[in-house]
Amino acid sequence: METACRLFYFQGYQATGINQIIEEAQIAKSSLYQHFASKELLLNEYLETNRIIWMTNLFDFTSDYAEGIDKILRFFDYRMHLLKTHEFKGCTFSRVVYEQPNLNESSTNIIKKHKLGIKEFIATQLLAIKPLPKAKLDETVNLVFNLAEGGVLQSTLFKDTQPLIDGQKTLARLLKEI
């Protein structure tokens, strides 16, 4: 799984063949198919594994910060950290969506679960700042989420964290008005 994760992320799902995974992982083909009957099932495990690791690392990365403003701003630092440590390759989950426009339902559901988990994290931090009516909370969550997602996309394109830094500064100003 470790080999598949590395190859899927750095090369892309389509560009990574089962034979390459088998060769680099130094396992028998039958061993791989014993655990994963198809490449699609391997993709689902890749996504689920990354979803769990990503969220766990987000909570670890922000654990020393106060709930609310500090933690939500630190979320942007986490996104910058990921980009820098992954050679500005972008978001694991967005990369799969871009690469596989007709993505199967189970993979799509894992990606949606991940993105909704991020929105839940954001909502929790916003509510720690101030109780908000549901409509205002949803609107603000989507704004913060889109600032981060757009920042990641631009940072990936330009291989520079400045778009995320700009988004973080914009968010800091916005949070003062809440």
- pLDDT tens column, 78-114: 999 999 999 999 999 999 999 998 999 999 999 999 9
CA distances from 157 to 88, 89, 153, 161 (A): 8, 9, 6, 10
At which residue do the structure tokens 């009516």 appear? 133
Give mean pLDDT, residues 164-173: 98
How far is residue 51's CA from residue 114's CA, in Å, rounded to a whole number? 6
Q: Is the pLDDT of residue 77 over 90?
A: yes
pTM of the model: 0.93
> Is 170 contained in some domain?
yes
pLDDT score at 178 = 84
**Domain assignment present for 11:** no
- Does the pLDDT of residue 63 top 90, yes or no? yes
Residue 5 lies in a domain: no
Please give the tally of structural domains in the chain. Answer: 1
Does residue 40 sit within a domain?
A: no
Domain assignment of residue 20, yes or no: no
| CATH classification of the domain holding 136 | 1.10.357.10
AA letter at 16? T
Average pLDDT over the chain reads 96
Does a structural domain hold residue 37? no
Q: Which domain holds residue 113?
A: 45-176
Give the pLDDT band (50/70/90) at residue 74. Answer: very high
Mean of pLDDT values over 55-74: 98
Half-sphere CA count of 102, side-chain side, radius 13 A? 0
Q: Find the mean pLDDT for residues 56-63.
A: 98
Residue 159 domain-assigned?
yes
